[in-house]
Amino acid sequence: MRDESNISHELKARGKFRHTNESPVVGDRVIFDEKFIQEILERKNILNRPPLANVDQTIIINSCKEPDFSFNLLDRFLLLIEHENITPIIVVTKTDLMNEEELKELKEKMKYYEKYYRVIYTSTIDLTGTEEFKYLFKDKINIFAGQTGAGKSSLLNVLDINLDLKTDKISKALGRGKHTTRHSEMYEIFGGLVADTPGFSKLDFFDIKEENVPDCFVDFFELSSECKFRGCAHLDEPKCNVKKELENGNILPSRYRNYKLILEEIKSQKPMYRK
């Protein structure tokens, strides 16, 4: 059955999916009849934790405070998303919780990311930046990712008042060690589909090979054509253009530090977990 209308159908997955490693996930395109999902069409990409398929764009939600802004977390999200060839959009939420000085300092650092990515500043309290989302989702499958309590569901509620998603005070959420949003679900907003997610609780890199990391740091990738060695990891290699630009002050120091930390982490992962 082909149905591109907005009618929803409640379907069961065919029993055969139990015996294959495949099961339908949010974002899948499927062939179905009156009762069953018969077939899952080829996926453009698949994220595992949480399971989502065919994602075009990931909106990374980072709060200014509560929880505190973390460049480490941002770089980790960017790696995971770049690795799946998904376009990242960086959103900085809760700008109302920073004073002018703090926000100015953060924006100064974020200018580095603006060379490569779209960066949007928002607040659900004073509605800063919410206009910028009007044309962002159109004809795309988008997902909201980010730490628990960063304000993903709150922002979606402001963008579409009909959603009425559950949100909760961060202290409570973190105290329980649980996410307020428990599952991923897609909503139609501004002509596109958007999935609210329970963040990515385990931001691990078991699916990423060490040698693929340098190219997923787009800023380093751009500079790497002038590194002496092809496949330069920008660590101790001689005549490395990334190290040179870092010394020249053209790379955000935290960005390079996080890159090294992530590489170390991937190296120390047990091979049995590696793909």
Ligand X SMILES: Nc1nc2c(ncn2[C@@H]2O[C@H](COP(=O)(O)OP(=O)(O)OP(=O)(O)O)[C@@H](O)[C@H]2O)c(=O)[nH]1
Residues that bind ligand X (CB under 6 A): 93-94, 96-97, 123-125, 146, 148-154, 167-170, 173, 179-181, 198-199
Is 213 near Zn ion (CB under 5 A)?
no
> Number of C-alpha atoms within 13 angstroms, CB side, residue 179?
21
CA distance 198 to 28: 19
Of residues 57 and 180, the one with the C-beta less far from ligand X: 180
Of residues 124 and 224, the one with the C-beta less far from ligand X: 124
Binding site partner of 57, from Mg ion, ligand X, Zn ion, none, Cβ cut-off 5-8 A by kind:
none
Number of residues that bind Mg ion (CB under 5 A): 4
Q: Which stretch binds Zn ion (CB under 5 A): 76-84, 130-138, 236-244, 267-275?
A: 236-244
Residue type, 139: D
Cα 1 to chain centroid distance, Å, stands at 32
| Structure tokens that stand for 236 in this block | 């101790």
Is 240 near Zn ion (CB under 5 A)?
yes
Of residues 142 and 153, the one with the C-beta less far from Mg ion: 153
**Strand 30-32 to strand 36-40: parallel, antiparallel, or no bridges (unpaired)?**
antiparallel
Of residues 61 and 232, the one with the C-beta less far from Zn ion: 232
CA distance 94 to 106: 13
Report phi then psi at 247, rounded to 5. Answer: -65, -35
Is 181 near Mg ion (CB under 5 A)?
yes
**Smallest separation (angstroms) from ligand X to the CB of 188:** 19
CA distance 119 to 60: 10
**Strand 87-93 to strand 57-63: parallel, antiparallel, or no bridges (unpaired)?**
parallel
Task: Give the residue, chosen from 124, 180, 184, 258, that forms a contact with Mg ion under the rule CB under 5 A.
Answer: 180
Applying CB under 5 A, which residues contact Zn ion? 227, 232, 234, 240, 242
